[in-house]
Amino acid sequence: MLVPPHKRGIILYTVRDATARDPLATDLPSGFREVFKQLSRHGYRQVEFAGYRQHANAPGGADLESIEGAKLLRCWLDDHGLRAQGNHGFIPPSWPLTEADKDTFKKHLEIANIIGMDHMGTGGDPTGSSYRADWDVAADKWNALGEIARREGIKLYTHNHDSAYGFLLDGGPLDDQGRPTRSSGIRKLEYFLKITDPRLVWLEMDIFWAHVAQYKFHTYTAHDGSTRKSVFDPAGLVARHNKRYPLFHAKDGVVSTTNGMGWDMVPFGTGDIDYTTFFSRVGQRNYRNPMGRGTTTRRAPPTPPSRCGRRRSATTTWRPCASGAADPEPTTGRPFPCAAGGAARPVSGRPRRAAPRRVPASRDRPDPHRALPPGCHGKRR
């Protein structure tokens, strides 16, 4: 087993349509509380937040980015046997830090502690620059933020897209602005790993975007002007830096020769990325926290395995993965993904957008004014 059951996680950005859904206009899962219930039912045990906003009519109101909101989230997670492992949230834009940014950052750390997270981070790169001097500044900033987070018992992490594993410009002739134009062959996040404190700064590898980087960035111009080849090995980088990669974004892709990225994103478990080899090579399966994500791709899905059963909804027929049923979402045409084997797949029919409708007053639905339940103190696990 490559991913132990208690480590099966999902990026809540995947189900953002459900958390943003109006519970007064539908009987489909809506808001964090009901979404947590459904995710637990389908075998997930961990989540990664992408902010704390939901529909205003969901329990707790629109914005749960507060101490009381964090207590509610923690209670609902506990109710459904889920654990939060991280959040793509607030990283101060200022450097040196302003007092206002530092206070906001500390508030987010307090929220993370109440919810029970071990990690807090961002969905972006430390810097969008290709120049070593800018990565040096980013490292100073992240070391400082990591020290603040460490004092609160939180590991601070950054998440990559493809460009962060491109080559660093660190030598050769200078351009008109005095910046280097050539590379020593080190990649940007590799350099970042080298110059940040391993006790303070951590990384979440987005495996899909790392494979895009492998396709796009395989040659560089060396300081002497020669063209050199260097193929990126995502699993090898993780293995070399071991515990600095506690989190993964497990997104899948199929090979593409036409889009300039080398890969098209598809639902997890339906693509060509060799996750069996990847997870076997990186090891530490009880330490890593893979967070899966579905996709809104319009690419036609492959034929599902014959062992899967059928499930029919009012708008389309869905074939869930073998690990369990996945309820389709008629308003989006997308299902809740399954925990072990990817998203459910449409078999026939075309998903249609259902018109909003008001749920009858007699139907059981979330109370948007529900108070903090007794016993929900939000203490750290």
353 occurs within a structural domain: no
pLDDT at position 35 is 98
Beta pairing, strands 46-49 & 83-87: parallel
Dihedral over Cα of 184, 185, 188, 193: its sign: negative
Q: What is the CATH number of the domain that holds 211?
A: 3.20.20.150
**Cα distance between residue 253 and residue 114, in whole Å:** 35
Reported as a single tens digit per residue, the pLDDT across 141-196 is 999 999 999 999 999 999 999 999 999 999 999 999 999 999 999 999 999 999 99
Is residue 339 a contact partner of residue 44, using CB atoms and an 8 Å limit?
yes
Domain count, the chain: 1
pLDDT at position 249 is 97
pLDDT at position 319 is 29
Reported as a single tens digit per residue, the pLDDT across 337-347 is 444 444 333 33
- The vertex-15 CA angle with 164 and 36, nearest 5°, equals 120
375 occurs within a structural domain: no
Range with the poorest average pLDDT among 188-192, 242-246, 299-303, 315-319? 315-319
Reported as a single tens digit per residue, the pLDDT across 79-106 is 999 999 999 999 999 999 999 999 999 9
pLDDT at position 293 is 80
360 occurs within a structural domain: no
pLDDT at position 1 is 75
356 occurs within a structural domain: no
What does DSSP assign to residue 6?
G
Reported as a single tens digit per residue, the pLDDT across 102-145 is 999 999 999 999 999 999 999 999 999 999 999 999 999 999 99
**Within 10 A of 128 (CB to CB), how many other CB atoms are there?**
12
Closest CA to 44 of 257, 374, 279, 338: 338
121 occurs within a structural domain: yes
**Structural domain containing residue 132:** 5-348
66 occurs within a structural domain: yes
- Band (pLDDT 50/70/90 cuts) for residue 2 is confident
**Cα distance between residue 99 and residue 350, in whole Å:** 52
Please name the residues in contact with 99: beta carbons below 8 A apart, sequence gap of 6 or more. none
Kindly state the average pLDDT of the residues 223-246: 97
Arithmetic mean of pLDDT over the chain: 83
35 occurs within a structural domain: yes
373 occurs within a structural domain: no
